[in-house]
Amino acid sequence: FQSSSSVKTYVDPHTYEDPNQAVREFTREIDPGHIIIESVIGGGEFGDVCKGKLRLPARPEMTVAIKTLKPGATDKNRMDFLTEASIMGQFDDPNVIFLEGVVTKGHPIMIATEYMANGSLDTFLRNNDGKFTVIQLIGMMRGIASGMRYLSEMGYVHRDLAARNILVNETLVCKVADFGLSREVDIDTTDGAYTTKGGKIPVRWTAPEAISFRKFTSASDVWSYGVVMWEVISYGERPYWNWSNQDVIKAVDKGYRLPPPMDCPEAIHQLMLDSWQKERSYRPKFMQIVKTLDKLIRAPELLRKIAKARPLHFPESMQTTITQFSRVEEWLVASRWNDTSNIFCTLVTLRWTK
Ligand SMILES: CCOCCCNC(=O)c1c(N)n(-c2ccccc2Cl)c2nc3ccccc3nc12
C-alpha cells in the first residue's frame, strides 16, 4: 500500500516475528571481501566504529564508516545492532544518513554507511566557533529540518534529535543519524537522564509532554529541533548550560525559554520559540520550518534584526508576575524557587529590569 504522499511509510522492525526478516527485507547484504577496514574512528555501544573502503561491482570505490559488532555479543545485542540497519535501510533522503549495506554472513557483523568527514555537528561547531556566516548556519538548520520533514512524513519519530546525533559531510551537508536502540555510549551517557520507568531521556532536548508522560511524536521532535537550532547558532553551547536536569524541567514548566544566542537574528529565535510552544499542536510542522528557513535564506534582509539578549527569557506575562511582587524575597517564596542558580539568575533579571 502506497500512502498518499510520495514517501513510503516506515515499518517498525520490532513488529516482525523474526527480526532477521526485517534485516533481509530492508538492507543489502555486502560480501565482506568488498569491505576494507582502514582505521578505528570511534567506540560504539556494540563495538568499534571504523573508517574504510567499499568496493561494489561496477561501482566506484567509496569511503564508508563501518560499525562492527564485537565478537561474543549476545543475540539480543546482535538484533539491537541490526535493528538500526533495518530502520536506516528504509530511508533514502539527502539529509538522512545513508545505509550502504550490512555484513551478516561473516564475522564481524558490520553496518556500512556513507562517511561523514566532518563528524558530529556539536563537536564540529565547537571546533569552528565563529567561522561560519549566519547564512551557512541557517543552511545547516535547513538541511536538518528537511531530513526531519522526510522522516516525519514517513511516520518515523526520532526521540533523540540533538546536534550530537547529526553528522556533517565534507561539503557541510548535515544529516540525521543515530537510529534505533543502538545508541553510541559516548553520546547517551552524558545526556541521558533516567525516567521513573528506567528509560533514558535527554531532558534538555525533550518536549515537556514526552518527559511527563512519554508522548513522543513528530511535534516533540520539533521541540528538539528548536534546541538543535539554538545549538547551531551558539556553535555547540550546552543548552541550559550547567543547570541540573530538574532545574531545566522546572524552569521550562514555568515558561522559561532559552534566550537568543549572541548575534542571533530575531526571526531565528522566534522560530525556536514557536518550536517550544507548550501546546504541541501550536508548534510548526517540519514542512513549515523548511519553508520559513528557505524564505530567510532567499531574503537575507529579514535576518538583519538581531534579537536583543535579555538575561532570562520569560514570556511577557511572567515579567509582570515578577514586577507585581514588591520584594524579591516575596516572589522567590511564592515561586518556590529555592535553587541558588535560579535565585542568582532571577536577581540578575530583577536588577536588569528595575
Ligand atoms: C572529525 C572527523 O570525524 C569523521 C567521523 C566520520 N564518522 C562517520 O561518518 C560515522 C558514521 N557514518 N556513523 C554511523 C551512523 C549511523 C549508523 C552507522 C554509522 Cl557507521 C558513525 N557512528 C559513530 C559512532 C561512534 C563514534 C563515531 C561514529 N562515527 C560515525
* Nearest CA, atom 11, ligand 1: 65
Instruction: Name the catalytic one among 93, 122, 160, 191.
Output: 160
Residue 4's pLDDT is 57
Tell me the three state secondary structure of residue 110: strand
Residue 327's pLDDT is 54
| pTM of the shown model | 0.86
Contacts of 211 (CB under 8 A, 6+ apart): 195, 201, 203, 249
Looking at the CA of residue 124, tell me the nearest atom of ligand 1.
1
Residue 182's pLDDT is 34
In degrees rounded to 5, what are phi and psi of residue 97? -55, 135
* Nearest CA, atom 27, ligand 1: 42
Residue 45's pLDDT is 83
Rounded mean pLDDT of the chain? 87
Gap between the Cα atoms of 285 and 125, Å rounded: 26
Distance 97 CA to ligand 1 centre (A): 10
Gap between the Cα atoms of 54 and 29, Å rounded: 13
What is the percent of the chain with per-residue pLDDT over 90, rounded to a whole number?
76
- Give the residue-averaged pLDDT of 294-319: 80
- Give the residue-averaged pLDDT of 281-298: 98
CB 164 within 8 A of CB 187: yes
Distance 287 CA to ligand 1 centre (A): 27
In degrees rounded to 5, what are phi and psi of residue 148? -70, -30
Residue 44's pLDDT is 82
Mark whether 31 is an active-site residue: no
Residue 15's pLDDT is 93
Residues with CB under 6 A from ligand 1: 41-42, 44, 49, 65-67, 97, 111, 113, 115-119, 167, 177, 184
Gap between the Cα atoms of 144 and 94, Å rounded: 10
Gap between the Cα atoms of 309 and 313, Å rounded: 8
CB 43 within 8 A of CB 182: no
State the residue for C-alpha cell 566532518: 118
Residue 193's pLDDT is 63
- Give the residue-averaged pLDDT of 306-332: 58
CB 216 within 8 A of CB 158: no
**ipTM more than 0.85?**
yes
User: pLDDT by residue (tens digit) across 109-162?
Assistant: 999 999 999 999 999 999 999 999 999 999 999 999 999 999 999 999 999 999
CB 8 within 8 A of CB 154: yes
Residue 19's pLDDT is 86
CB 156 within 8 A of CB 207: no
